Structure 1
Amino acid sequence: MKQIENMKQYAGILRLGYLSKNLQPMLHQASIDTPGYADFLENMLIKELEQRQLNDYRRRTKLARLPRAHELDEYDYKASSSIGIRQMTQLRELLWVDQLYNLVLMGPSGTGKTYLAGGLVNDAIKKGYRAYFTTMADLIGVLNRKEIISSAMSTYKRYTKAHLIAIDDIMMFPVQKSEAVALFNLINHLHEQCSIIITTNKSPSQWAETLDDEVLATAILDRLLYRCEVIRFEGNGYRMDNRKTFLEKE
């Protein structure tokens, strides 16, 4: 027992978390299966690696702040004619992220833009990319507070090192001039270094009205649309067509 406790301690010092917690049951199983030394060591290392990969995935998923619905395996093609199976397959391969293309999802509220954006970020995380999901409101909050709150600066730094960022509901509401400039500076920094997904219910011509600055709106759009696929969503909102109630009808 002393030897096992020492081994657990050594594993902890070496930051082998899975081995530290599971050494005793692994030794017990080895006494039953009697593997060779090399096989036993390989199995321990594989288990440790798998646990680290799982922990890393969980950490990146938490940081990504995905919307509640984001599993594209459950995408309802009947509810939306904007995306076909072939297009979805191509999007989920994420080759466009490696090629630094952007994606603009444009259309009325409730047509599936957020679901698709969140789903692609989720797929990217599974494949090991640094990917994040944020709303325009939350992003503006980070930009406003990054110089005075350390957590906001940490979030901002993560964004600047991302492979993929989804910005949901961009230009949904008017922003102040300083906020618009900060948004431009971020997008300009990310330009041709990171892929960006934009969801919006405003046409490009309406962006200038939201920002109250045509020159700034043009500069932002110029960088987003340079290498970009635009997908237009149409039809009634999914939530309105599938509205749920709780009162029983007479």
Structure 2
Amino acid sequence: MSELVSARIRDHAGKLGLNHLIETVDQLTTRAETEQLSYLEFLDQVLEEELGLRESRRFRNALKLSGLPHHKTLEQFDFAFQPDLDPRKIKDLATLEFIDRRSNITLLGPPGVGKTMIAVALAVAACQAGYSIYFTSLDDLVRRLRAAEATGRFNRQLAAYLRPAVLVVDEVGYLPLDRAEANMVFQLVSRRYERGSMIITSNKSFAEWGSVLGDDVLATAILDRLLHHCDVISINGPSYRLKDRLALVTGGEAMT
């Protein structure tokens, strides 16, 4: 390829925002000549690389803005440590059909059993598939809504929680709410009902949500909307966080 044509391609690519092509046009054409690619195959290769780069950049940026505490995937979850948890069920949820159905997922169980890790892994999968996601603890969500209400920005802050295709609300039940805060949660769940998916983690059974939310009537109204279209996963195994420490202790005892 002549230098004139190469320069013209770079100029056109720059105007079209195809920055990767600007840097790799020579390598791509050399590869096409070596592999004797057809015109269509060469064009397909150029577009595939450009799209792949953009998707990778979008994915990284979306993860940065997601609020996720980490970016672990389901492949990193040790299902063998939780034998009562059906991996097929979790992997079925990872197909992300629940998002298209605007359905919810609730993960219940005591602290440390892996609820948050599974919630995060599903959110990462959703992000990778191009869905918008956001992660927050219930305590942080309520704190932000309260602060927004005090400055007349409540509706704007609520809208921010309505925007993502998947909203992960972690640690429901760790701290009790007063009635005003519970009403804010009701408004969120009610507004997202059948419009966007939520993934909830809680260390409390649904029967205990009345005491957590400080109002049995509000708790019932929230659960009515949350559970109408919802997959409920209960995890009752040992602490996932302590598994490596327990393995060290067990190994140490075996050596003594």
Q: Which range, TM-score by smaller chain?
A: 0.7 to 0.9
Identity %: 33
| AA partner of residue 96 (structure 1) | F
1:128 aligned partner = 130
Equivalent-residue separation in structure 2 for 1:211 and 1:100 (angstroms): 24
Match of 2:21 in 1: 19
- CA spacing shift, 1:69–1:54, aligned 2, 3 Å: closer
Instruction: Report what 1:234 is aligned to.
Output: 236
Structure 1 residue runs of 4 or more that deviate by more than 6 Å after TM superposition: none
Q: Summarize the Cα distance change of 1:36–1:227 in structure 2 as closer, same or farther, 3 Å threshold.
A: closer
Partner of 1:181: 183
Closer/same/farther in 2, CA of residues 197 and 8 from structure 1, 3 Å limit? same
1:1-250 correspondence runs (5 A): 4-30=6-32, 32=34, 35-68=37-70, 70-146=72-148, 157-243=159-245
CA shift digits 1:142-174 (9 cap, x unpaired): 323457699x95x75453233222211013112
CA contact (8 A) 2:72 2:117 kept: yes
What is the CA-CA distance between 1:5 and the residue it aligns to?
A: 4.7
Give the 3 Å change call, closer, same or farther, for CA 58–213 of structure 1 in structure 2.
same
Tell me if structure 2 keeps the 8 A contact 1:82–1:231.
Answer: no
**Offset of 1:33 from its aligned partner?**
5.1
In the aligned structure 2, how far is the partner of 1:14 from the partner of 1:26? 18
Q: Give the TM-score of the pair, scaled to structure 2.
A: 0.80
Alignment coverage as a number of residue pairs = 246
What residue identity is the alignment partner of 2:92? Q
1:148-205 Cα distance to aligned partner (Å, 9 max, x none): 699x95x754532332222110131123443322221111111011121111111223
| 5+ residue gaps, structure 1 | none
How far does the alpha carbon of each residue in 1:24-68 deviate from its partner, in whole angstroms, 9 at most, with x for none? 433454565564544433322222122222222222222223332
**TM-score, structure 1 as length reference:** 0.82
Q: Secondary structure at the match of 1:235?
A: coil
CA distance in 2, matches of 1:68, 1:87: 22
